Amino acid sequence: MSHPDLRRMMADEFFVWQATQERLHELVDGVPVLPAKMMTGASRAHDRVVVNVIRELATKLRGGPCRPTTDDLAVRIPSGNVRRPDVTVDCGEGSARDMAVADPRVVVEVLSPSTMTFDRVRKLAEYRTVPSIAHILLIDTEAPRVDLWSREADGSPDGFWRRSTHDGLDATLALPAIGVRLALADLFEGSSFAPPAEGG
């Protein structure tokens, strides 16, 4: 849902406007819109994984300069868009009144059937343009699977991105930019999955 009655905004104007709203919005091409998950509703499976991710990151980052944040805090995209990942790891110092993270290093999107294609295509492309982001996690909720995109410096402004897929509850993944390793068994704790189709 967008607000066609509003004139197009810059990001700073958007945050002033957002402070007067009851619901969180993103800014897309200058227009405030509700995040897709707010229009379709987040499932119990989605919520469980988000909580697990925040718990694991908060525990492993405790005492350091980085901390996980919820989608209450937004990420500024260089194009001018403003996005709200399910989880962001912020390694910057900001004021208590800030509405966006200061130094995003990791973003996490927990996929659902209704938003999967959008998250895998447009939002992934946008996150890759944020210079400070080193890792992007796309977490499935229908199978114990995580797609991890990691930036590898190659001398270009955007760097080179390497994709790795981590399958199964025995798998682990490393986030060297923040010195953390995550076990899929912890991320999917309490989740249940349909058995694979025969022959699949």
pLDDT at 146: 98
DSSP state string for 10-76:
-HHHHHHHHTT-SS--EEETTEEE--HHHHH---HHHHHHHHHHHHHHHHHHTTSS-EEE-TTSBEE
The label of the residue with tokens 């995040």 reads: 35
- CATH number of the domain at 149, please: 3.90.1570.10
Question: Does some domain include residue 10?
Answer: no
Question: Does some domain include residue 35?
Answer: no
pLDDT at 7: 78
Question: Does some domain include residue 72?
Answer: yes
Question: Does some domain include residue 152?
Answer: yes
Question: Does some domain include residue 89?
Answer: yes
- Provide the residue-wise pLDDT of the chain in tens; the chain has 200 residues: 455 557 799 999 999 999 999 999 999 999 999 987 665 556 889 999 999 999 999 999 999 999 999 999 999 999 999 999 999 999 999 888 999 999 999 999 999 877 666 677 889 999 999 999 999 999 999 999 999 999 987 645 566 899 999 999 999 999 999 999 999 999 999 998 877 666 54
Which amino acid is located at 96 in the chain? A
pLDDT at 35: 87
Question: Does some domain include residue 199?
Answer: no
pLDDT at 1: 47
Number of domains in the chain: 1
pLDDT at 38: 62
Q: What is the pTM of this model?
A: 0.90
pLDDT at 164: 97
Question: Does some domain include residue 11?
Answer: no
Q: Find the domain containing 76 and state its range.
A: 41-187
Decide if 148 contacts 137 (C-beta within 8 A): yes
Question: Does some domain include residue 145?
Answer: yes
